[in-house]
Amino acid sequence: MVLLVASTPLHAVPASGPTLSALLALAALGSVLVLALALAALRRRRSLPYALVALAFAALSARALVGALTMTGHLGPSTHHLAEHGLDVAVVGLLVGAVYYARTVEREL
């Protein structure tokens, strides 16, 4: 097993089979559902922390799109890798911003 992992180039694209397709579809469905709930909460609350959380869920949904584009051959492995890590950074930054704002700014009001 170690030899198999060590000999696989980092830029290799994993085989896209029915399992990967099913997982990607499930991830997309779940993330879009959670995004819809976040947008409903934002519509009701209309505050910056809710907007930041909704944007974080939108970035999470975009990860499924990046996976689908990669699986269909529209994105190369290096672009896929860069996009996935960029979206990870966006999710973390948006969530930290939402918590920070909710804990400091809203308390002052």
> If pLDDT is split at 50, 70 and 90, which confidence band does 56 have?
very high
Which pTM value belongs to this model?
0.76
16 to 12, 33, 60, 71, 72: CA distances (angstroms): 12, 24, 21, 6, 9
Q: Say whether pLDDT at 23 is over 80.
A: yes
Helix (H, G, I), strand (E, B) or coil at 66: helix
Structure confidence by residue, pLDDT tens digits, 68-107:
899 888 998 889 999 999 999 999 999 999 999 988 875 6
What's the average model confidence in pLDDT over 47-62? 94
User: Which of 84, 55, 45 minimizes the C-alpha distance to 68?
Assistant: 84
User: Which of 14, 11, 58, 16 minimizes the C-alpha distance to 34?
Assistant: 58
Q: Which of the residue ranges 8-12, 13-17, 51-55, 85-89 would you say has the lowest mean pLDDT?
A: 8-12
**Cα end-to-end span (Å), the chain:** 57
